[in-house]
A and B are shown apart, each in its own frame.
Chain A
């Protein structure tokens, strides 16, 4: 398991290759990459704040939960913080398993939980001003299916 909370840019292709190369006999690798959206051409950048210490613990707890529910050969979580421009990669999740169902479901589970249980807060820096992104009810409801 690798968890990285880091302001630095990352190369999702290189990360995925390195991850896939290290999963041994696993037959399935699934990955998700989150990208800063340019909301209707009005977003100039995004600022992500987090809670150092709790962030790493919360992600480790989420990954442990995923590993207890599905048979996973390995898990990778990368999440950035600080200032990100539109089009930049925010975060990435990769899962490896013997069969694809575990890798797909675990990746979705990780995404749902990272969204509302890992202490990150996004602020959109638009031309008209800065605004904290509000959590959506759907994001909270998404946890119920697990």
Chain B
């Protein structure tokens, strides 16, 4: 089980802030593909031209990253702090 979190417009698109997912995906890209195939709202978020970023266990990474040992995966837009 992986805890998946969504922030900002990714959260609004998908409609929830977090969920627990049972997945066989081994990489972030596979997880995204699995979610996108599940419902349109996921596909709409991940296909957005503004391209969501990803963090695994609160460390910024990329879509090729392995999910081995991952407890928490978060998707969000490019950050706009400061």
Residues of A bordering B, CB below 8 Å: 34, 49-51, 53-54, 57-58, 79, 90-91, 111, 114-123, 132-135, 140
In Å, the complex CA distance between A121 and B81 comes to 6
Question: In the complex, given contacts A51-B7, A121-B8, A134-B78, what are 13 additional A-B residue pairs having Cβ atoms less than 8 angstroms apart?
Answer: A34-B82, A51-B55, A53-B58, A90-B82, A115-B79, A116-B81, A117-B81, A118-B81, A119-B81, A120-B82, A122-B81, A135-B78, A135-B79
Q: Which residues of B contact A50 (CB under 8 A)?
A: 81
Q: Would you call B79 and A118 a contact (CB within 8 A)?
A: yes
A-B CB contact pairs (8 Å), 18 listed: A54-B58, A57-B59, A90-B82, A91-B82, A114-B82, A115-B79, A115-B80, A115-B81, A116-B79, A116-B81, A121-B8, A121-B9, A121-B77, A121-B79, A132-B8, A133-B80, A134-B50, A134-B78
- Picked from B5, B9, B55, the residue with its CB within 8 Å of the CB of A132 is B9
Interface residues on B, range: 10 to 19
| Distance A91 CA – B7 CA, assembled complex (angstroms) | 20
A135 to B27, CA, bound (A): 26
- How far is B79's CA from A92's CA once the two chains are assembled, in angstroms? 17
**For B9, B59, B80, which residue has the most chain A Cβ atoms within 10 angstroms?**
B80
B8 cross-chain contacts in A, Cβ below 8 A: 49, 121, 123, 132
Taking each of B9, B74, B79, which has the highest tally of chain A beta carbons within 10 Å of its own beta carbon? Answer: B79
State the main secondary structure of chain A at its contact with B.
mixed
Interface status of B63 (Cβ within 8 A of chain A): no
**Chain B residues with Cβ under 8 A from A135's Cβ?**
77-80
Query: Could you tell me the distance in whole angstroms from the C-beta of A46 to the nearest C-beta in chain B?
Result: 10
> Which 8 pairs from chain A and chain B are nearest by CB?
A120-B81, A135-B78, A115-B82, A121-B8, A54-B58, A118-B81, A114-B82, A133-B80
Taking CB atoms, residues of chain A closer than 8 Å to B50 are 134
B63 CB to nearest A CB, Å: 17
Please report the C-alpha to C-alpha distance between residue A116 and residue B58 in the assembled complex, in whole angstroms.
15
| Assembly CA distance A133 to B9 (angstroms) | 10
